[in-house]
Structure 1
Amino acid sequence: MAQKIDKVYQDAVTSGLLPGVSVFAGDRDGNILYSKSLGKASLKEGREDLPFTASTISAIASMSKLMTSVAVLQCVEDGTLDLDADVKPLLPEIGKHGVITGFDDDKNSAILSPNTVGTTAITLRMLLSHTSGHEYDWFSPLLAKWRASRNEQPWTGPTVEHKSVLPLVFPPGTGFAYGAGHDWAGKAVEVATRMSLEEFMRARIWTPLGVEEDASFYPKTKEGMKHRMADLSTLNEKGEPPAVDANFDILFGGTDCLGGAGVFCSAQAYYTFLSAVLRRDPRLLTQESYTELFRPQLDEKCEQALNDYLVLDDAHAHLLGCRIPESIRKTWCFAGLVAKEGQEGRFAKGTTFWGGVPSCQWFIDHETGICGAAVCQILPPMHPGVIALHEELQRGVFGMVEGKYPRSL
């Protein structure tokens, strides 16, 4: 199995599809079942000799969301946050534009329902479940028009407020859309604790796990990290190799700690975190909080909205679908996307997935007792050919241990 996984990634590096990658997978007993680092960390002139290793610092983008969900639940345990309280007192700018229902092209003006948002409070539960009504403006044609009408660019600016004070695309709690809920949730952690999200995660997640020198929102300011940073690369307009240097700012000018997209860390550090979550390590959360982390959060209406959203078009399927067959029903938990059924030879029922823009991906298969993370730095986002490689990782590791663990937690 390991040799087959080796070949999949080695062929991708040889072909130029991937400049470099670092991969880890392990089991519930804490054993590392597979690890491999290949290729280069950069194609930038003058840095081409930098190898991609397990300690290479990479942008993990939306793989940050799982860390932020853990941070929020730590605050809930502390009594400083409440999953079901209105977040408006903590985040006064949130939802202030109301709900966008259309756009008048003749007037170059959005059609907004300013009072609709007042009927239902936005809660942390909604923010962590993508049911708050927020959608990324780069993902929504309506919000793109709203931005353009204000002479603004999507998802730019230094702060969460610059990027994410947007009209909602539906009243809170009534649908599903992928957006900046975790950025807002991270901001709530900061307000409630009077610490930056960097400080909080360092104290409560990274240091307890021994990865504090390998994770940060601000790696360029860290002497021990900045020289280990990978650079983003990109394939051509058709998504074909060979990759070239991208010269791309993944944060689009962001300087806040962006809980939904802003962590940089090594593959080994992320796997250490992921493995702790699989094993329900008490250094991070209580057992009750782990149950909440992985509990499906969507009611029937929102679950249907999620499944419709995932097949809305090719972009939604590629960016969000994790190559899970359309026939498998999905739901959402605070950790990520949940497959309600298994896929033969790949994962069991209830497996949780998510990824990040540079075609990174993680999975936790609770029933089979395994988890894994693949970290690379390649655009375009969630490239189907690269996500297919990560599927082969999942299949390979699943085959190593299928049947070893009882199918229950």
Structure 2
Amino acid sequence: MALFSDTKVSQQRDELLAGPAISFEEAYSEALKKKVLPGYAVIAGDRNGNSLYSKADGIASLKEGSQPPFQLDTICWLASMTKLFTAVACMQAVEAGIVDLDEPVSKILPEVGNYGILTHFDDEKNEGVYVQHKTPVTLRHLLSHTSGYEYDWFSPLLAKWRASRGELPWTGPTVEDKSTLPLLFEPGTSFLYSGGFDWAGKLIERVTGNTLEQFMVERIFEPLGIKDITFYPDKRPDMSNRLAAVSTLSETGEGPAVDAATFDPLFGGKDCLGGGGAYGSAGDYFKFLHAVLRRDSRLLKPESYDELFKPQLDEQCKKAFNDYLRSSPAHAQYLGMSLPGEIEKTWSFAGMICEQGQEGRMEDGTYIWGGVPSMYWYLDFKAGLCGVAFCQILPPMFPGVLHLHEQFQKAMYEKHAKIQ
């Protein structure tokens, strides 16, 4: 499953916005004119409930004969922006006493860790070589990407393991199909970006007997008045007619964008995939994000928010995380959110934490994460700001589009500073 290309990554940002400095609004408009970005929606606000900005522009689909406008209620594939919902759901389950952060999940999920650690691949025998792990995988490991797992589409070793079994990476209808994999390191000793959130969602399903969606509807969406988030937009006539189509540039990031007609975001997935399977609108995602910024008591107790936002990596795992982000242009693009490499980062259940701020953009300790089709959210607790940027464009986390979102974030930081 080739989701991105390493080539020309360093040129993409400059090429999109070549020319004199312009406002973020003009920059988005220019991207629409250049047909690099079909459509987008952005929303920002502060902790006190002030709306700083909201706008949608462009079109939601490049399919022939169907080019509806991109609006604040356009339904987008959220990809890894789903993870924040799942993290909150897991903390709610911990509060309810139905799961524990530090108990072995194999009691409920026997598939987790059942292969042991894949140390290398024997090419002559066309099979993996394993050792048994000593540390049980816990929910804390799954939510902090320290479980030993890595997404198989991100790992050459796991891709080879899949091929030896006549399988393709991350395919099939269920979490079990997609994520029953060998570990790659002893749990708790390193960091690799993984499908741990998919297993976390499956854990909730098995202990409650309900779907992850039903759990979220009852405990997150209904309390906040959210109606436009689901794992199954095709089963919701009120949403399916507002569904945006994923578009793509060339593998090297060159336009014009075209409809990605053969791209299946979930690669055959039918489960509620807690790591990347939800769909929703910018308006309702922002409603959720703003509740998290305010530490809304309808979602979690204060101590649960503390755990949600706490850095989860010890020094060894934090070093592994930062080394991982710097290990290739693809890692910097896809996982590093195209942020400066010199900014040290760590991980919380909520997402990535930037330990240092960036002048005119964010304070230190800002939380940022996104999703494959160049989506983006941020929570700046020191400044009291949050924002979302929605679009549906590939290659994943395209630097040129992320730069547009960065300009938006800077403008909101500046605007907020002026009204303080």
- For residues 22 and 187 of structure 1, the distance between their equivalents in structure 2, rounded to whole angstroms, comes to 31
- For residues 114 and 138 of structure 2, the distance between their equivalents in structure 1, rounded to whole angstroms, comes to 15
Contact conserved, 1:230 with 1:377, CA < 8 A, in 2? yes
Counterpart residue number, 2:317: 302
**Alignment match of 2:119 (pick from 84, 96, 101):** 101
Contact conserved, 2:52 with 2:416, CA < 8 A, in 1? no
Contact conserved, 1:307 with 1:330, CA < 8 A, in 2? yes
Counterpart residue number, 1:208: 223
Counterpart residue number, 1:396: 411
Contact conserved, 1:323 with 1:391, CA < 8 A, in 2? no
SS class of match (1:62): helix
Provide structure 2 residue ranges, at least 5 long, that are not aligned to the other structure.
1-21
Say if 2:41 is the partner of 1:26: no
Counterpart residue number, 1:384: 399
Counterpart residue number, 1:78: 96
**Alignment match of 1:60 (pick from 70, 78, 98):** 78
Q: CA deviation at 1:237?
A: 2.5
Counterpart residue number, 2:231: 217
Contact conserved, 2:112 with 2:180, CA < 8 A, in 1? yes
- For residues 321 and 303 of structure 1, the distance between their equivalents in structure 2, rounded to whole angstroms, comes to 14
- For residues 46 and 230 of structure 2, the distance between their equivalents in structure 1, rounded to whole angstroms, comes to 26
Q: CA deviation at 1:107?
A: 2.0
- For residues 144 and 169 of structure 2, the distance between their equivalents in structure 1, rounded to whole angstroms, comes to 22
Taking only aligned residues, the RMSD between alpha carbons, in angstroms, comes to 1.1
Once the two structures are aligned, what percentage of the paired residues are identical?
Answer: 57
Say if 2:291 is the partner of 1:276: yes
Q: Match of 2:332, as an amino acid?
A: A
Contact conserved, 1:6 with 1:36, CA < 8 A, in 2? no
Question: How many residues matched?
Answer: 398
CA shift digits 1:227-249 (9 cap, x unpaired): 01001000013211110000111
SS class of match (1:372): strand
Q: Match of 1:15, as an amino acid?
A: K
**Alignment match of 2:200 (pick from 181, 185, 208):** 185
- For residues 382 and 71 of structure 2, the distance between their equivalents in structure 1, rounded to whole angstroms, comes to 30
Counterpart residue number, 1:175: 190
Provide structure 1 residue ranges, at least 5 long, that are not aligned to the other structure.
none
**Alignment match of 1:322 (pick from 326, 337, 340):** 337
- For residues 49 and 31 of structure 2, the distance between their equivalents in structure 1, rounded to whole angstroms, comes to 28
Contact conserved, 1:368 with 1:403, CA < 8 A, in 2? no
Q: Match of 2:177, as an amino acid?
A: H
Say if 2:278 is the partner of 1:289: no
SS class of match (2:238): coil
Counterpart residue number, 2:31: 12
Q: Match of 2:111, as an amino acid?
A: E
SS class of match (2:105): coil
Q: Match of 1:107, as an amino acid?
A: K
**Alignment match of 1:241 (pick from 250, 255, 264):** 255
TM-score by length of 2: 0.93
- For residues 176 and 327 of structure 2, the distance between their equivalents in structure 1, rounded to whole angstroms, comes to 28
Say if 2:250 is the partner of 1:232: no
Counterpart residue number, 1:37: 56
Q: CA deviation at 1:57?
A: 0.6
SS class of match (1:103): strand
Q: Match of 2:317, as an amino acid?
A: C
SS class of match (2:106): coil
